[in-house]
Structure 1
Amino acid sequence: MKKLKNIFNRNKNSLSIVEKVLSVVFESKRALLTNMEKLTEVDGFNAWRNKESADLSNIVQPFAKSSKLHECQKNSMPNKLCKYRCGLGCQMHHLIHSMILAYGLERTLILESTNWQYHESGWDKVFLPLSSSCTTIGNVPTVNWPGSNVSRVIRLRPTKRVTPRSQYLPLAVPEDLVNRIKIIHGNPIAWWVGQIIKYVWRLQPRTTNYINNQMEKFGIKNPFVGVQIRRTDKIYYAEAKYQAVERYMDVVDEYYKSIEIKTNFTKRRVYIATEEYSVIKEVKTKYPHYEILHNQNIPKIPKINFARSFDNIFDLILDVHILLRSDLLVCTLTSNLCRLIYALLQNDHVDGSANIVSLDAVYWYHNQLHNKRKVILKHHPENAAEIDLVPGDIVDVTVVTDYSLNGYSHGTNLRTRRKVLWFWM
Structure 2
Amino acid sequence: MNFFCIYDYHGRGIVSVNRGGLSSGGIMIAPTTNGFITFFKCRGKKGFIIILFFIFSGILVSTRYHSAGFRRRSSFPPYENDSLSLEMELRSLDASQDFFLSANAITKKLRSRWLYGRTTNRKKHFDDEYIDLNNRVQTLLQRTENERRSQLRELSKGIRDRIIEIQNPADCDTAKLLVYDVATRPYGFGSNMHMIIMHFIHSIYSNRTFVLQSSGWTYDDKSWEYYLQPLGKCTYEMDSEALPILSDETQRERIVQSRGWMVDIDWSVPENILDTLKRIHTDPFAWWVGQFMSYAFRLQPWLEARIQAIEDLIGFTDKVAGIHVRWGDKVAIFGSEAAKHDVSEYMDFVETWFRSHECRGCLTRRVVYVATENSEVWADLKSRYPEYTFIGGGFVDENRDINAPIFVPYRGRKFVIQSVLTDMYFLSKSDYVVCTSSSNIGRAVYELMMMEKVSPPDRFQSLDLYYHLAGPPRYAAVQSHRKRDPSELDMQVGDELSAVYDAFYRVSDGYHRGVNLRTGQEGSFPSYKTEITVKALKCNVFEGL
Same fold by TM-score greater than 0.5:
yes
The AA in structure 2 aligned to 1:418 is Q
* Structure 1 position 253 matched with structure 2 position 319: no
Q: 1:170 aligns with which of 241, 245, 266?
A: 266
The AA in structure 2 aligned to 1:413 is N
- 1:12 maps to none
* Range with bigger deviation, 93-102 or 370-379: 370-379
- 2:514 maps to 411
Which SS does the other structure have where 1:243 is aligned?
A: coil
**Bigger Cα Rg:** 2
- 1:76 maps to 177
Which SS does the other structure have where 2:386 is aligned?
A: coil
The AA in structure 2 aligned to 1:356 is F
8 A contact 2:326–2:373 mirrored in 1 = yes
Matches within 5 A, 1:25-424: 25-42=126-143, 45-67=144-166, 68-71=169-172, 73-132=174-233, 134-136=234-236, 142-146=243-247, 148-157=250-259, 161-162=260-261, 167=264, 169-236=265-332, 238-295=336-393, 297=395, 305-366=409-470, 368=471, 371-398=473-500, 400-405=501-506, 407=508, 409-424=512-527
Structure 1 unpaired stretches of 5+: 10-17
TM-score (norm 2): 0.68
Deviations 1:229-276 (A, max 9, x none): 011211137221111111111111111111111124332111111000
How far has the Cα of 1:89 moved from its partner?
A: 1.2
8 A contact 1:72–1:108 mirrored in 2 = no
The AA in structure 2 aligned to 1:119 is D
Q: Distance in 1 between matches of 2:516 and 2:253?
A: 42
The AA in structure 2 aligned to 1:186 is T
Q: Percent identity?
A: 25
* Structure 1 residues 46 and 296: alpha-carbon distance in aligned structure 2, compared to 1, 3 A threshold: closer
8 A contact 1:111–1:130 mirrored in 2 = yes
Q: Distance in 2 between matches of 1:274 and 1:69?
A: 43
- 1:14 maps to none
The AA in structure 2 aligned to 1:7 is R
* Structure 1 residues 389 and 51: alpha-carbon distance in aligned structure 2, compared to 1, 3 A threshold: same
8 A contact 2:197–2:292 mirrored in 1 = yes
Q: 1:8 aligns with which of 40, 49, 74?
A: 74
* Structure 1 residues 381 and 35: alpha-carbon distance in aligned structure 2, compared to 1, 3 A threshold: same
Q: Distance in 1 between matches of 2:223 and 2:207?
A: 25
Deviations 1:371-422 (A, max 9, x none): 2223344432234332222344332223x23424464543222343432323
8 A contact 1:117–1:310 mirrored in 2 = no
How far has the Cα of 1:61 moved from its partner?
A: 0.6
Q: Distance in 2 between matches of 1:296 and 1:362?
A: 25
Q: Distance in 2 between matches of 1:37 and 1:410?
A: 28
- 1:13 maps to none
How far has the Cα of 1:136 moved from its partner?
A: 2.4
How far has the Cα of 1:189 moved from its partner?
A: 1.1
How far has the Cα of 1:72 moved from its partner?
A: 5.1
Q: Distance in 1 between matches of 2:196 and 2:279?
A: 28
* Structure 1 residues 27 and 103: alpha-carbon distance in aligned structure 2, compared to 1, 3 A threshold: same
Which SS does the other structure have where 1:173 is aligned?
A: strand
The AA in structure 1 aligned to 2:205 is G
* Structure 1 residues 27 and 187: alpha-carbon distance in aligned structure 2, compared to 1, 3 A threshold: same
The AA in structure 2 aligned to 1:126 is Y
* Range with bigger deviation, 245-254 or 46-55: 46-55
Q: Distance in 2 between matches of 1:70 and 1:301?
A: 45
How far has the Cα of 1:51 moved from its partner?
A: 1.6
Which SS does the other structure have where 1:41 is aligned?
A: helix
8 A contact 1:362–1:424 mirrored in 2 = no
8 A contact 2:438–2:503 mirrored in 1 = no
Q: Distance in 2 between matches of 1:356 and 1:309?
A: 29
Which SS does the other structure have where 2:196 is aligned?
A: helix
* Range with bigger deviation, 271-280 or 348-357: 348-357
Give the count of matched residue pairs.
401
* Structure 1 residues 296 and 394: alpha-carbon distance in aligned structure 2, compared to 1, 3 A threshold: closer
8 A contact 1:269–1:290 mirrored in 2 = yes
Q: Distance in 1 between matches of 2:204 and 2:354?
A: 42
Q: Distance in 2 between matches of 1:199 and 1:296?
A: 22
Q: Distance in 2 between matches of 1:32 and 1:79?
A: 48
How far has the Cα of 1:424 moved from its partner?
A: 4.2
Q: Distance in 2 between matches of 1:424 and 1:281?
A: 36
Which SS does the other structure have where 2:74 is aligned?
A: helix
